[in-house]
Amino acid sequence: MSEGFKLEIVNPESSFLSKEKISEVVVPAYEGDMGILKDHISIISFLRPGLMRVFEGTNEEIYYVDDGIVEFKNNCLSILTSNIFDIKKMDKNDAKDALSKAEQDSQKNDISDQKKYLLEQKIEVLRNLTLN
């Protein structure tokens, strides 16, 4: 595993991150965390709220994502997301606000099971974030 693959994270406003030579990415896919290494099979999946880890050699960066779509093809990983934050730069108060909003939303009865599942995931991750 010499070269690694290409990672592109885009959000609607702009390109958030673009890097070559990524060794591994762990994404919070809908059905569980998924590690992607070089020469992974082409895959499309979507994300649940959670933490995304990007390994570049020995470097590790962690991002929080709200939702998104992952596409891996020809050693190029594209992630489309509308909400992504670098954990180091993330404001704790923002996280708290998002947490309380998510908690409120999950109290509602008229939401689908799928949405409820996503919200629970979100609450768990955000709770961990705000504690640290």
Partner 1 sequence: MASLDDLKKRISSVKSTQKITKAMKMVAASKLRRAQESAEKGRPYSDKMNNIILNLSNSISDKENSPKLLKGSGDNKVHLCVVMTSDRGLCGGFNTNIIKKAKTYFQKILDEEKILKIITVGSKGYDQLKRTYKNNIIEKISFKESKNANYFDAEKVGKIIIDRFEKKEFDVCVIFYNQFKNVITQIPQEQQVIPLKATESEGSSSEDNYEFEPEEDEILSNLLPKNVSTQIFKAMLENSASEQGSRMSAMDNATRNAGEMVDKLTIQYNRSRQAAITKELIEIISGAESL
Where along the sequence are the contacts to partner 1 (CB under 8 A)? Answer: 8, 10-15, 29-31, 34, 41-46, 69, 71, 73, 78, 80, 82
- Residue 89's CB is within 10 A of a number of other CB atoms, namely 7
Comparison of 8 and 124: residue with beta carbon closer to partner 1: 8
Q: Please give the structure tokens belonging to residue 10.
A: 């885009």
Comparison of 37 and 44: residue with beta carbon closer to partner 1: 44
CB of 18 to partner 1, least distance (A): 10
CB of 85 to partner 1, least distance (A): 15
CB of 12 to partner 1, least distance (A): 4
Contact 9, 26 (CB under 8 A): no
CB of 75 to partner 1, least distance (A): 13
Spatial neighbors of 12 by CB under 8 A, at least 6 apart, are 82
Comparison of 4 and 68: residue with beta carbon closer to partner 1: 68
Q: Can you spell out the DSSP letters for 11-65?
A: -SSSEEEEEEEE-EEEEEETTEEEEE-TTPPPEEEEE-SEEEEEEETTEEEEEEE
Comparison of 43 and 128: residue with beta carbon closer to partner 1: 43
Q: Please give the structure tokens belonging to residue 27.
A: 């994404």
